[in-house]
Amino acid sequence: MNNKLILIIEDEEDILELLEYTLQKEGYETIGFLSINDNVKKVLEEETIDLILMDRNLSGIEGTTFISSIKKDGYSTPVIYVTAKDKDEDIIEGFESYADDYITKPFNIKELSARVKAVLKRTSKDVEVLKVKDILYNSSNKKFYIENIEVELTQLESNLLLEFIKNKDILLSREYLLEKVWEDSLDKKEKTVNVAIKRLKSKIDPKNKKNYIKSVRGEGYIFC
């Protein structure tokens, strides 16, 4: 199994079925939609998507417009446009709209599969987007976003929040956090953890309404 998840947005049902069948046969997981709707946005929020195959001629919104909007929100997922728009200016526009590749219809399915493999190989080592609740982490720029707004954190705070996100719903002791986040620092005291978490919480939840990080008396902290 390739263990890669591909989001496909294609308004022609027979082409969508062909793409899903072919890619699943090669070991990829796929999620397909015939249009851009709230469910597409929900998938982007809840799943780690490795690649988007995007049609351009969609009802309601042009494919490049949608891709540009999610890129501005912090998503760095690679994109291949699969579209009937085949004029030179269309292709140029596609690459100016975050395309990692551009395939025109009608296409050769074997060539498309090869291009999917090539883009994933080229980008998979560089791109990691983690999304938990309304917090998004983009590894390509090492930044955090909450409700699509960048949060300014120190390196220590970033490492601390990332450790929590990767261990969602798991109780982390102060000793564990000191070992993982502070590593070889000389300032490895339990009080240091308490102070750092207090500062982190003030930045990611200044109004103290979301309660991302809960303290468990005598045990440690849990991100939920």
Are residues 9 and 63 located together in one domain of the fold? yes
Q: What does the pLDDT read at residue 186? A: 55
Q: Is 35 left (phi over 0), alpha (psi -120 to 50) or beta?
A: beta
Q: What does the pLDDT read at residue 122? A: 85
**Average pLDDT value for residue range 153-157:** 91
90: exposed, middle or buried (Cβ count in 10 Å: 0-12, 13-18, 19+): middle
Q: What does the pLDDT read at residue 1? A: 46
Strands (E), 122-207: 129-132, 135-138, 143-146, 149-151
164: exposed, middle or buried (Cβ count in 10 Å: 0-12, 13-18, 19+): buried
pTM: 0.58
For residues 60 and 70, give the distance between their C-alpha atoms in angstroms, rounded to a whole number: 16
Are residues 117 and 136 located together in one domain of the fold? no
| % of the chain with per-residue pLDDT over 70 | 94
What's the distance, CA 181 to chain centroid?
Answer: 23
Whether 125 has a pLDDT exceeding 60, the answer reads no
Total count of domains within the chain: 2
CATH of the domain at 70: 3.40.50.2300
Would the CA dihedral through 170, 176, 178, 180 be positive or negative?
negative
Whether 141 has a pLDDT exceeding 60, the answer reads yes
* End-to-end CA gap in the chain: 31
Q: What does the pLDDT read at residue 80? A: 97
pLDDT in tens, 30-88: 999 999 988 898 898 888 899 999 999 988 889 999 999 988 888 889 999 999 999 99
| % of the chain with per-residue pLDDT over 90 | 59
Cβ atoms of residues 74 and 148 within 8 Å: yes
For residues 10 and 53, give the distance between their C-alpha atoms in angstroms, rounded to a whole number: 8
161: exposed, middle or buried (Cβ count in 10 Å: 0-12, 13-18, 19+): buried
Q: Which of 123, 153, 186 is the last residue of a domain?
A: 123
Are residues 81 and 112 located together in one domain of the fold? yes
Which string of b and e fits 34-55 if b means at least 16 CB within 10 Å? eebeeebeeebeeeebbbbbbb
Are residues 80 and 163 located together in one domain of the fold? no
Q: What's the chain's average pLDDT?
A: 89
pLDDT in tens, 159-201: 999 999 888 899 999 988 988 888 765 556 667 888 999 999 9
Task: Give the position of tokens 């991302």.
Answer: 212
Are residues 107 and 9 located together in one domain of the fold? yes
